């Protein structure tokens, strides 16, 4: 972004709740089924049908509120009226002036705190597919509507305009995603649309200036798109202002291929949604006991889990630059229980973190399915020298691919720990084969020691334990 300017960003995130059924009826809440198979009179908006609130959806909304440190309040539903074919009733049932969650915050990994204005419940619409070259409504030959998504429960999380860089916005989206997954409320899949992000962007010359006129950007399908779109939009607004023009408040569409935002509609033709209290539903008044019960069953949030891992690493570990990134990776992928369990069994936390962040993370889905005890057993074999690092990684790859017990896999691969006699004779053979190197090593050239260890490792096909080889070399040198 151009110097001399500051961007102001707030995000609105729609999150599909991971319930078994929809928000107001008993239809399955499943992505990817045959079109119009998960439908009933209620989610098709048939005449005479009435909505009944899904208690589980309310609990997940409260879980999100709890995770974002919101005040959870008695709430009501309104009707948001507008015509659109994928809107079965031609109104959307949504929370309006009395949302269930208000006044929370989300702390980003770098310590930035972003305020949460509200996190309210609403129903999703159906999905329209426009048949034709453009894939958009203009110029389409015809359109098809799938109501499987109609009535799927959503929570819309509205941040305060507290972000000042696109990096912060990306970090917020990533962290929020992690929180939604950790709270059990959502699977957080942006590519399947279960998490959808809109960005409100404005610019100003100084933090002391009032907020500028904002534009809302839609169609952000990844965290990367979010960052690109915000940068583009801020630059666009700065160009306008620097050339003496004004920013017009409008909704803009992010074109991923063209890498720019385009006008969707301006404030003048914004809908009048004619919100009024939904007469088919009664107010939602969760009592303290219910709110507490939801909080009690929640798993710890990513920030708490990161802090726990950092603490495990101790002062020495924390000093290593890589630790922060490794901790973030492991928590983001949900692999921190592996590290915690290994450390509890006496495995060095640094080893557990490194193996998990660098190797297990390569196939996070398989790693999340790993038997924790087997994983701890593997790291113990490596820690006590029964397996070399190279062997340990090979065994782990096998465990991720096909499962199994580490000892059995190691045996099958011929990774039995080398007996002390074999190791002593392998070192002796190497000294005989490389007398010059040995002589330099004996004269105190430590660098050549590494080369000798490498020769032993090569001769034993990696079966020797590097540390034991180093010790034997040192013993012989005297």
Partner 1 sequence: MSAPRPSAYLANAVRSGGRSAVEVLEESLAAIDAGDGEVHAFNLVMADEARAQAVAVDRTVANGEDPGPLAGVPVALKDNLCTRGVPTTCSSRILEGWRPPYDATVVTRLQRAGAVVVGKTNMDEFAMGSSTETSAFGPTRNPHHTGRVPGGSSGGSAAAVAAGFVPLALGSDTGGSIRQPAALCGVVGMKPTYGTVSRYGLVAFASSLDQIGPFAATVADAALLFDVIGGHDPADSTSLNRPTPRVLSVLDDGVAGLTVGVLAELLDGADPDVVARVRQAADALAAAGARVEEASVPEVVLGLSAYYLIAPGEASSNLARYDGVRYGLRRDAEDTVAMNTATRSAGFGAEVKRRIMLGTYVLSAGYMDAYYNQALRVRTRIIEGFDTAYRRCDVLLGPTAPTTAFALGAKTGDPLSMYLSDVCTIPSNLAGHPAISVPFGPGDDGLPVGVQLLGPSLSEGTLFKVAAVVEAAAPTLAPPRLSQEVRA
Give the interface with partner 1 as residue ranges (CB under 8 A). 41, 44-53, 79, 81, 83, 85, 88-91, 137, 143, 145, 272, 274, 276, 279-282
Cα-based distances in Å from 42 to 19, 46, 96: 17, 6, 21
Rounded Cα distance between 128 and 42, Å, is: 19
Least separation in angstroms between CB 60 and partner 1: 19
Of the candidates 298, 293, 295, 283, the residue with the CA atom closest to the CA atom of residue 53: 283
Rounded Cα distance between 216 and 183, Å, is: 28
Least separation in angstroms between CB 275 and partner 1: 8
**Tokens standing for residue 342:** 């290994």
Comparison of 277 and 433: residue with beta carbon closer to partner 1:
277
Comparison of 147 and 438: residue with beta carbon closer to partner 1:
147
Q: How many CA atoms lie within 13 A of 53 on its CB side?
A: 24
Phi first, then psi: what are they for 264, rounded to 5°? -105, -55
DSSP per-residue letters across 93-144: EE--SS-SEEEEEEE-TTS-EEEEEEEEEEE---EEEEESSSSSSTT-SEEE
Least separation in angstroms between CB 206 and partner 1: 34
Least separation in angstroms between CB 280 and partner 1: 5
Comparison of 148 and 392: residue with beta carbon closer to partner 1:
148
Phi first, then psi: what are they for 196, rounded to 5°? -125, 135
Comparison of 272 and 443: residue with beta carbon closer to partner 1:
272
Least separation in angstroms between CB 285 and partner 1: 13
DSSP state of 239: H
Comparison of 30 and 281: residue with beta carbon closer to partner 1:
281
Comparison of 85 and 300: residue with beta carbon closer to partner 1:
85
Comparison of 151 and 349: residue with beta carbon closer to partner 1:
151
Rounded Cα distance between 246 and 241, Å, is: 6
Least separation in angstroms between CB 10 and partner 1: 23
Report the residue count for the chain. 478
Least separation in angstroms between CB 150 and partner 1: 11
Comparison of 50 and 428: residue with beta carbon closer to partner 1:
50
Least separation in angstroms between CB 93 and partner 1: 11
Least separation in angstroms between CB 201 and partner 1: 25
Four-residue CA torsion sign, 415, 419, 421, 424? positive
Least separation in angstroms between CB 89 and partner 1: 5
Rounded Cα distance between 294 and 263, Å, is: 42
Least separation in angstroms between CB 49 and partner 1: 7
Alpha helices, DSSP H, located in 142-211 = 166-182
For 427, residues 6+ apart whose C-beta sits below 8 A from its C-beta are 456, 469, 472, 473, 476
- Estimate the crossing angle of helix 322-332 against helix 302-319, to 10 degrees: 150
**Tokens standing for residue 22:** 């929809």
Beta bridge partners of 123: 153
Comparison of 47 and 444: residue with beta carbon closer to partner 1:
47
Comparison of 24 and 232: residue with beta carbon closer to partner 1:
24
What is the end-to-end Cα distance of the chain in Å, rounded? 62
Comparison of 137 and 293: residue with beta carbon closer to partner 1:
137
Rounded Cα distance between 135 and 141, Å, is: 10
For 239, residues 6+ apart whose C-beta sits below 8 A from its C-beta are none
């Amino acid at each position: 972004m151009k110097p001399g300017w500051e961007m102001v960003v707030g995000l609105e995130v729609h999150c599909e709740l991971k319930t078994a059924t929809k928000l107001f009826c008993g239809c399955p809440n499943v992505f990817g089924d045959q079109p119009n198979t998960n439908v009933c009179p209620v989610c098709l908006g048939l005449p005479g049908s009435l909505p009944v609130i899904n208690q589980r959806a309310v609990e997940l909304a409260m879980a999100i509120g709890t995770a974002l440190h919101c005040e959870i309040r008695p709430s009501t539903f309104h009707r948001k009226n507008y015509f659109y074919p994928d809107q079965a009733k031609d109104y959307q049932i949504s929370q309006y002036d009395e949302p269930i969650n208000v006044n929370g915050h989300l702390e980003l990994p770098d310590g930035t705190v972003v305020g949460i204005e509200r996190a309210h419940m609403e129903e999703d619409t159906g999905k329209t597919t426009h048949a034709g070259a453009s894939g958009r409504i203009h110029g389409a030959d015809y359109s098809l509507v799938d109501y499987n998504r109609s009535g799927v429960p959503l929570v819309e999380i509205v941040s305060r305009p507290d972000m000042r860089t696109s990096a912060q916005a990306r970090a917020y989206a990533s962290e929020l995603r992690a929180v939604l997954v950790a709270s059990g409320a959502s699977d957080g899949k942006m590519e399947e649309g279960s998490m959808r992000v809109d960005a409100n962007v404005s610019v100003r010359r100084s933090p002391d200036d009032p907020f500028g006129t904002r534009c809302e950007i839609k169609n952000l399908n990844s965290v990367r798109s979010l960052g690109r779109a915000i940068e583009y939009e801020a630059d666009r607004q700065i160009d306008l202002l620097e050339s003496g023009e004004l920013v017009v408040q409008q909704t803009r569409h992010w074109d991923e291929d063209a890498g720019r935002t385009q006008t969707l509609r301006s404030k003048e033709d914004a809908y009048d949604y004619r919100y009024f209290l939904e007469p088919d539903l009664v107010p939602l008044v969760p009592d303290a006991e219910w709110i507490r019960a939801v909080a009690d069953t929640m798993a710890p949030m990513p920030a708490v889990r990161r802090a726990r891992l950092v603490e495990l690493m101790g002062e020495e570990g924390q000093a290593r630059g890589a630790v922060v990134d490794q901790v973030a990776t492991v928590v983001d992928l949900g692999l921190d229980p592996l590290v915690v369990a290994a450390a509890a069994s006496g495995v060095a936390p640094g080893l557990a973190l490194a193996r998990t962040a660098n190797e297990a993370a390569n196939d996070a889905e398989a790693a999340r399915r790993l038997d924790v005890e087997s994983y701890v057993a593997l790291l113990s074999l490596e820690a006590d020298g029964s397996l070399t690092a190279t062997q340990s990684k090979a065994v782990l790859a096998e465990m991720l691919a096909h499962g199994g017990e580490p000892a059995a896999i190691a045996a099958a691969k011929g990774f039995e720990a080398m007996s002390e006699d074999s190791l002593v004779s392998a070192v002796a053979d190497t000294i005989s084969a490389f007398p010059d190197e040995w002589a330099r090593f004996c004269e105190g050239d430590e660098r050549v020691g590494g080369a000798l260890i490498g020769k032993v490792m090569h001769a034993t096909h990696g079966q020797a334990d590097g540390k034991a080889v180093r010790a034997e070399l040192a013993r012989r040198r005297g």
